[in-house]
A and B are shown apart, each in its own frame.
Chain A
Amino acid sequence: MGLMDFFKKKTSGDIAKDRLKLVLVSDRANCSPDVMEMIKNDIIQVISKYMEIDAEGLDIQITQTESDGNNGNVPALYANIPIKDMKHPSSAR
């Protein structure tokens, strides 16, 4: 952080832009918080079959990512799933 950052305050225009970006991502994906919660629970169920994960620390969100094709940004589902143990206690192997 430079000395000048000390003087820099986030303007209301910046705040508006940041808020809009977030709200549009979920608008465009047509995903309500309820749906996100359901997706999250399903992911926990599926992964838990194979390994022990930290359900509390799991974080999913819809973000923008650069597309491989050249059609600009596309929405992407980002999931951060902390693993507690690679070997599941109940796995039979």
Chain B
Amino acid sequence: MSEVIVITSGKGGVGKTTTTANVGTGLAQLDKKVVLIDTDIGLRNLDVVMGLENRIVYNLVDVIEGNCRMKQALIKDKRYPNLSLLPSAQTRDKSAVSPEQMVKLIEELREDFDYILLDCPAGIEQGFKNAIAGADRALVVTTPEVSAIRDADRIIGLLCANEVKQTELIVNRLRMDMVKRGDMMNINDVTDILAIDLIGAVPDDEQIVISTNQGEPLVGTDCLAGKAFANICHRILGEEVPFLDLEIKSSVWGKLKEIFKKN
């Protein structure tokens, strides 16, 4: 049985594409057959994050309009034989595709893949509706900021209204130094407010920028963000994995200061 997962957030710039690239790559590393679909028509991004931008011939809209066969548009990642990308069209806009066409396209892919990951555009308009139309499950990405959380709440409501069965939260770009001094909401604050299950917490990590620069997802590498994404993949498969200890160990003096602050 294949599973269709949409990665969404409402607000832009919180890490949807990075999450899609890393979760997709991570699932492929776990021997699952994975296809990533960039549904952001007009603002193509997933291909560069994956480092596959030079290999695009056909795109999502070409498949839907019947200009090519599905096989011709899918780009196989040479690093991971189980991983494919269906890129978005750069010169069209969201109205080129309808939710019904997306559902049909996904049904076709279900036969060949275990996981179909949809990178959703920001916003709640046509592009969002297209992306969630065929999804079984949603990963809502947010950062610990008021604007991102407010948008995530709206998205959760819309997913619920559209009967996406399973919705889980990824808190991205946590800065533990700021959380520690109380200048950033912590994971519990965010899950309290949004009231959905947490599937991952990803720390803010310079390595993400470096990996995106190079077009190589960092999932599975030794950095904290790489481990966090690998854990998310295991949880998607239904395994119980404890959350990473992101706490920064503090000195005796730091602990003393904490005691005074807390009480």
Interfacial residues, chain A to chain B (CB-CB below 8 A) = 2, 4, 7-8, 11-14, 16-17, 19-21, 23-24, 27-28, 72-73
Evaluate contact between A13 and B154: CB separation under 8 angstroms.
Answer: no
Evaluate contact between B153 and A13: CB separation under 8 angstroms.
Answer: no
Q: What is the CB-to-nearest-CB distance from A25 to chain B, in angstroms, rounded to a whole number?
A: 10
How many pairs, one residue from A and one from B, have CB atoms within 8 Å of each other in the complex? 48
Q: Give Cα A27–Cα B193 distance, bound, in whole angstroms.
A: 13
Evaluate contact between A28 and B186: CB separation under 8 angstroms.
Answer: no
Q: Answer yes or no: B150 CB below 8 A from chain A CBs.
A: yes
Given contacts A11-B181, A27-B153, A28-B153, contact A20 B263 (CB under 8 A): no
25 of the cross-chain contacts (CB-CB < 8 Å) are: A2-B263, A4-B263, A7-B261, A8-B261, A8-B262, A12-B183, A13-B179, A13-B182, A13-B183, A13-B184, A13-B185, A13-B189, A16-B146, A16-B185, A17-B185, A17-B193, A19-B146, A20-B149, A20-B150, A20-B193, A21-B193, A23-B146, A24-B150, A24-B193, A28-B157
Decide if the interface of chain B is mainly helix, strand, loop or mixed: helix
List residues of chain A with CB within 8 A of the CB of B153. Answer: 24, 27-28
